[in-house]
């Protein structure tokens, strides 16, 4: 029993390390080889993205969003070999989700509901989701101290004083550290078409 538990813990640690170390492209490449751990991590990594498109961009009710979620990843599993560039996985799965959502809205005599979600409006939300997930990915690559202080300031909307008390640092130090961490966040966006600095709403 002890050996089985140790094996399970080792597997969990191995999966966590795999998730932390692999880029999206490398994770997709491992999925192409039939790596089941990589597939599970791929689904886990993109589950929030797919579900956000369903709910925020197309306003699907929960049961429809769950159905689309299942359908999207079933199609990804079946069609992964058709993806030309592993680096393009996220836009590919985004467009696949978009098509599945539109199909769901148009199915079962729901044309009126489909017409109530203009494609241009959905595209606007998709663009914002892309930006938000880009920020999230960039934040994930920062040191833990930067992630915490930016999360407290932008996501939790805490004041310098509150953050300073929590981290046992002077308020002036908090201000300078936020500035340095934002610079690191901007650097993390190098090669991402030079997006504008994040606002409080973007860094969530």
Residue 164 sits in the same domain as residue 89? no
- Output the domain CATH number for residue 167: 1.10.10.10
Whether 42 contacts 22, CB under 8 Å: no
Domain boundary among 77, 92, 124: 124
pTM above 0.85, yes or no: no
The domain boundary, picked from 59, 91, 124, lies at: 124
Residue 162 maps to a domain: yes
Same domain as 146, residue 95: no
> Which residue, chain included where needed, has tokens 């199915």?
107
Helices (H) and strands (E) in the chain, counts: 10, 0
* Strand ranges for 54-134 from DSSP E: none
Look up the domain containing 108 and give its range.
1-124
Structural domain contains residue 63: yes
Residue 80 pLDDT exceeds 80: yes
Predicted confidence (pLDDT) per residue in 27-74, tens digit: 999 999 999 999 999 999 999 889 988 988 888 999 999 999 999 999
């Amino acid at each position: 029993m002890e050996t089985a538990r140790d094996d399970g813990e080792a597997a969990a640690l191995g999966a966590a390390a795999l998730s932390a170390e692999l880029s999206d492209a490398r994770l997709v490449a491992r999925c192409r080889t039939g790596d089941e751990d990589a597939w599970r991590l791929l689904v886990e990594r993109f589950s929030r993205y797919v579900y956000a498109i369903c709910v925020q961009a197309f306003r699907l009710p929960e049961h429809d969003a769950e159905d689309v979620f299942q359908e999207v990843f079933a199609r990804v599993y079946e069609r992964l070999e058709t993806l030309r560039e592993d680096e393009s996985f996220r836009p590919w799965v985004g467009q696949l989700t978009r098509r599945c959502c539109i199909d769901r809205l148009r199915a079962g005599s729901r044309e009126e509901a489909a017409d109530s979600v203009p494609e241009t409006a959905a595209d606007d939300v998709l663009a914002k989701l892309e930006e938000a997930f880009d920020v999230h990915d960039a934040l994930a690559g920062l040191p833990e101290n930067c992630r915490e202080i930016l999360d407290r300031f932008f996501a939790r909307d805490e004041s310098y004083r509150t953050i300073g008390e929590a981290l046992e640092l002077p308020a002036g130090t908090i201000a300078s550290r936020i500035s340095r961490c934002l610079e690191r966040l901007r650097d993390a966006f190098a090669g991402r078409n030079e997006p504008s600095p994040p606002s409080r709403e973007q860094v969530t």
